[in-house]
Structure 1
Amino acid sequence: MKKSMLNVITLALVLINLILTVLLTFSLVSTNNKTNNLITKVAQIIDLDIGETTVKDDTTSAGANIADIAYVDVKNNDSTDITVSYTDGGKTHYAVLNVTVGFNTKAKDYEEKKSSLENSMKVVVSQVNTEALKYSYSELNANKATVESNLLSYLRDLFQTDSITSVTLTKMVVS
C-alpha cells in the first residue's frame, strides 16, 4: 500500500510539473515573440540609417573617395570672405565666413553642376547669410555643423544633384 501511495504522489507531482511547464512555455513564447518584434523593429531602423550611407553609385557622397573630391570656394565679389552683420543692444557684431563646397569628380554631372555653382555665387552667398542669421553671433560657432548640414541640403536641392558631397565653413571669425 505504501508503494501504491508513493506512485500516486509521484504521478500527481508529474502532472503538476507538466501543467506548470505548459504555463511557463506559453508565457515565455508570447514574451519571446514580443521581444523578437522589438528587435526586428530596431534592426529595421538601424538598417535605414546604414542604408543612407551605403554606396549606391558614384554620385553619392558615401561613394566619393577623398582623392575624388574637388573643392570650390564660395566667392562674394572676388573675395572668399562672406561678412554677416548682427545688431545686438545697439552694438554691431560681425561674422566673417569662408565657405567651401566639395564635389565628387567621378559624378556624372560634376562639370555641369560645378559651373552652375560658379555662376550662382550670389544665390549661395545669400543663403549663407540667411543660414548664419538664424543664430545670434554668439551661437554661430556652436551651431557650425548645423549650418553646414543645412547649406549642404539646400545646395543639393537647388542644383538637384548628389555630386555635392560637403559644405565646409573653413574660416569663422566672430567679433
Structure 2
Amino acid sequence: MKKSMLNVITLALVLINLVLTVLLTFSLVSTNNRTNNLIKKVGEIIDLDAAGNAANGSQTGSAVNIDDIEYVEVKSGDSTNITVSYTDSGKTHYVVFKVTLGLNKKAKDYSTKSTSINNGMKLIVSQITNEALKYSYNTVTTNKTTIEKNLLSTLQDQFETEAICSVTLSEILVQ
C-alpha cells in the first residue's frame, strides 16, 4: 500500500514538473522572440547588419541578393591594375590594386547606367586615384573599408544611381 501511494505521489510530482517546464519554456521563448525583435530594430536604426552578413560599408541601405549583382572590373586602359604613385621625401612609392564594382541588375536604371559606367572607366579610375591619394601609401591597406565606402558614395553621386551597390578593392600591393 505504501509503495503504490509513493508511486502515485511521484507520478503527480512528475506531471506537475512537466506542466511547469512547459509553461516556463513558452514564457521564455516568447520573451526571447521579443528581445530578438528589439535587438533587430535597434540594429536597423543604427545601421548594423543584424543578420550577420558582411557589412563593411560597401553595401547600400537596402539588401541586394547576390544573384542580382553583376561584377564589373574597373580597367585602366587594357589592364585591371590601377597604379597610384606617391612621393615621400624624394622617393616614389606605388600602390597597385584592382577595383570591382557591384551593379544591382534589379535597379530601375541598371541598363542605362551600366553602359555609362562601362564607357566612363577613365572617370572612375580618376575618382579612385583621387580617393587613394587622400591617404599615405602605407595607410592605404589599413583604410581599405573607408576607401571602399567613400568610393561607393562618390560613384553613386557621380553617376546619379543606386545601381552601384558595392565597391571592392583587392590585390593591394604597396611598394
Return the TM-score normalized by structure 1.
Answer: 0.66
Give unpaired runs (5+ residues) of structure 2.
1-40, 51-59
User: Of Structure 1 and Structure 2, which has the larger fraction of its residues in helix?
Assistant: 1
The residue number in structure 2 matching 1:49 is: 46
Give unpaired runs (5+ residues) of structure 1.
1-43, 54-59
Q: For the structure 1 residues 50 and 111, does the alpha-carbon distance in structure 2 shift closer, same or farther, using more than 3 Å as the test?
A: same
Q: For the structure 1 residues 51 and 89, does the alpha-carbon distance in structure 2 shift closer, same or farther, using more than 3 Å as the test?
A: closer
Find the structure with the greater CA-based Rg.
1
SS, match of residue 94 in structure 1: strand
Q: In the TM superposition, what is the alpha-carbon distance from 1:48 to its structure 2 partner?
A: 3.6
**1:83 alignment partner AA:** T
Indicate if the aligned counterparts of 1:61 and 1:164 stay in contact, CA closer than 8 A. Answer: no
**1:87 alignment partner AA:** T
The residue number in structure 2 matching 1:22 is: none
**1:49 alignment partner AA:** I
Report the identity percentage: 53
Q: In the TM superposition, what is the alpha-carbon distance from 1:171 to its structure 2 partner?
A: 1.8
The residue number in structure 2 matching 1:64 is: 64
The residue number in structure 2 matching 1:12 is: none
SS, match of residue 152 in structure 1: helix
Q: Which of structure 1's runs of 4+ aligned residues deviate more than 2 A?
A: 44-53, 60-63
Indicate if the aligned counterparts of 1:61 and 1:165 stay in contact, CA closer than 8 A. Answer: no
Q: What do the CA deviations read for 1:27-50 (whole angstroms, capped 9, x no partner)?
A: xxxxxxxxxxxxxxxxx9866435
SS, match of residue 46 in structure 2: helix
Indicate if the aligned counterparts of 2:43 and 2:49 stay in contact, CA closer than 8 A. Answer: no
The residue number in structure 2 matching 1:107 is: 107
The residue number in structure 1 matching 2:137 is: 137
Q: Distance in 2 between matches of 1:128 and 1:85?
A: 12
How many residues are aligned here?
Answer: 127
Q: CA RMSD in A?
A: 2.3
Return the TM-score normalized by structure 2.
Answer: 0.66
Q: For the structure 1 residues 47 and 66, does the alpha-carbon distance in structure 2 shift closer, same or farther, using more than 3 Å as the test?
A: closer
